[in-house]
């Protein structure tokens, strides 16, 4: 007997705004897929624009029943979102915590238009996330300017022991995120 797949949006941000619930409501129940066009202004139809006049990205972590979580990112007015059972995005949680850090797992770090794959950044963020400290968002702290000339959002998706579900925090470049 075939297992029916179910698409769950675990956590998502549009710029600095948590849009997890709104994005889950856009999942097509009959196909368990999510497709969003991305012409100028499209995302603002689905999500309130809390950062008017600034180009943003939509990012998140999702999971199909019985599969590993995956991350996606879509630059506003550029890349459409297309999540289907046969789609493979970026598998999450590829960097384990550094020695001496336990009880937390960072699933994905997204800065601007890209999923960040810097082991150094993961190592820097693990103790900050674990201890609930702050992180100043900037190109130097992240290690790269992933969207030249655009003020970016850093989104960090993670799990913590004793806390149910995937947690997410997002903050604008030149600001501070509190974990």
Residues 114 and 74 in one domain: no
SS3 119: helix
The proportion of the chain whose per-residue pLDDT surpasses 90, expressed as a percent, equals 69
DSSP 129: H
Whole-number Å distance between alpha carbons of 69 and 92: 6
Q: Domain check: are 144 and 168 in the same one?
A: yes
- 97 in the same domain as 80: no
Rounded to 5 degrees, φ, ψ at 20 are: -55, -55
Provide the pLDDT for residue 3: 53
> What is the tens place of the pLDDT at every residue in 19-33?
999 999 999 999 999
| Percent of the chain whose predicted confidence (pLDDT) is above 70 | 98
Has residue 108 been placed in a domain?
A: yes
Give pTM, 2 decimals: 0.91
Together in a domain, 80 and 41: yes
Last residue in a domain, options 52, 73, 90: 90
Range of the domain at 63: 7-90
């Amino acid at each position: 007997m075939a297992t029916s797949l179910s698409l769950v949006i675990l956590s998502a941000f549009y710029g600095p705004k948590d849009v997890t619930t709104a994005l889950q409501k856009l999942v097509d129940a009959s196909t368990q897929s999510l497709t969003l066009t991305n012409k100028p202004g499209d995302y603002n139809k689905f999500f309130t624009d809390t950062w008017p006049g600034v180009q943003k990205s939509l990012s998140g972590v999702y999971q199909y029943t019985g599969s590993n979580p995956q991350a996606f990112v879509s630059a506003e007015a550029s890349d459409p979102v297309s999540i289907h059972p046969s789609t493979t995005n970026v598998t999450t949680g590829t960097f384990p915590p550094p020695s001496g850090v336990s009880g937390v797992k960072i699933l994905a770090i997204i800065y601007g238009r890209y999923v960040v794959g810097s082991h150094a950044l993961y190592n820097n963020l693990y103790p900050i996330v674990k201890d609930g400290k702050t992180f100043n968002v900037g190109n130097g702290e992240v290690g790269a300017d992933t969207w030249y000339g655009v003020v970016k959002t850093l989104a960090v998706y993670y799990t913590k022991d004793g806390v149910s579900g995937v947690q997410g925090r997002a903050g604008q470049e030149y600001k501070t995120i509190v974990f």
